Amino acid sequence: MACDLVGRNFVSMLDFSREEILEVLETARKLKAAGVPVMPQGEPVKAMPLQNRTLAMIFQKPSLRTRVSFETGMTQLGGHAIYLAPTDISLGKRETTEDIAIVLSRYADIIMARVFGHDIVEDLAKHSTVPVINGLSDYEHPCQIMADFQTIIERKGKLDGVKTCYIGDGNNVANSLMLGAARVGMHMTVITPKGFEPKSEVFKTATEAAVSTGARIAVSNEMSAIDGADVLYTDVWASMGQEAEAQQRKSNFAGYTIDEKAMKIAAPDATILHCLPAHYGEEIDYQTSRLPSSAIFDQAENRMHAQKAIMLHLVG
């Protein structure tokens, strides 16, 4: 293995260098292509590489893709995953996050956390003695972006120089896309209504990180910014925890939709991505989601392959 990630955490896209991201993605490609476990070096293995290893999965937020992809992936690698529901672990309430991290480190080989506050997953990583993976926080969604990158490579053959436009709320997905794009040299424009842009500090950090790779990071309020885009990406207008704002957001985000009109502005072979779940008729229409250029279900499948690769590299 050229890059040694053993024992590291994956809380943010910035936790991995460009070379490390690309190496993990190459492992994910090999895992998907082989259909059987392979080590990061690429050779198939007779024994399950994570046999007798345990993944502790902490969930504050429910999820279809995160739970099933991690649990299935761990099983395929020969390991075991334990689902810890919100009522099983009341983070910071019944006991401190520090104590939970220390205790789980004595039982499990990896901890994955899908939480509300980003500070929670950072606290877990600070006090854990085993690798911690951010399955989602309100600030970043790095595992999703690794699957996105794998999908873009499958469709475009590369990441470097690919023009990607994200249309929607400046949320955790937008944050991780900007940071990840900056790392790998992918051009990234976040297109959102006024008042819903990503946090300025994320944009600043991504712009600074992009200097070494030549990535162009931008934020726009105009749908015309998708002109010539190689990839169009969207997410729901109201994320989990924003249900009270959903009706107002429908008005705020009207027109910020991937549909036939948008596809005519983007590059003729533009790939469509959506991290799901989709609200058809809002951020994307059903017909467009089913076009041959749509990779949304490849993207969902790749969550499992990318996460398997991440776990293999972190555990060794």
Instruction: Please tell me what DSSP assigns to residue 196.
Output: -
**Distance of alpha carbon 267 from alpha carbon 277, whole angstroms:** 25
Sequence-ordered list of residues with C-beta below 8 angstroms from that of 120, at least 6 positions apart, any chain: 60, 91, 92, 97, 113, 137
Among the options 60, 76, 144, 299, which is catalytic? 144
Distances (CA, A) of 176 to 11, 138, 162, 202, 213: 10, 11, 16, 9, 16
Among the options 29, 114, 118, 183, which is catalytic? 114
Tokens of 18: 């460009």
Compute φ and ψ for 219, nearest 5 degrees.
-130, 135
Is residue 143 part of the annotated active site? The answer reads no
Among the options 155, 303, 305, 313, which is catalytic? 303
Query: Measuring CA to CA, which residue among 135, 221, 220, 147 is closest to residue 177?
Result: 147
Q: State CA 178 to chain mean position distance.
A: 12
Is residue 8 part of the annotated active site? The answer reads no
Is residue 166 a contact partner of residue 43, using CB atoms and an 8 Å limit?
no
Tokens of 162: 């690919």
Is residue 242 part of the annotated active site? The answer reads no
Is residue 235 part of the annotated active site? The answer reads yes
Among the options 29, 235, 274, 313, which is catalytic? 235
Please state, as a whole number, how many other Cβ atoms lie within 10 Å of the Cβ of residue 39: 16
Is residue 275 part of the annotated active site? The answer reads yes
Among the options 275, 299, 305, 313, which is catalytic? 275
What is the C-alpha end-to-end distance of the chain, expressed in Å?
Answer: 10
Is residue 114 part of the annotated active site? The answer reads yes
Among the options 65, 118, 141, 183, which is catalytic? 141
Angle between helices 118-127 and 97-107 (to 10 degrees): 50
Q: Which residues are catalytic?
A: 114, 141, 144, 235, 275, 303
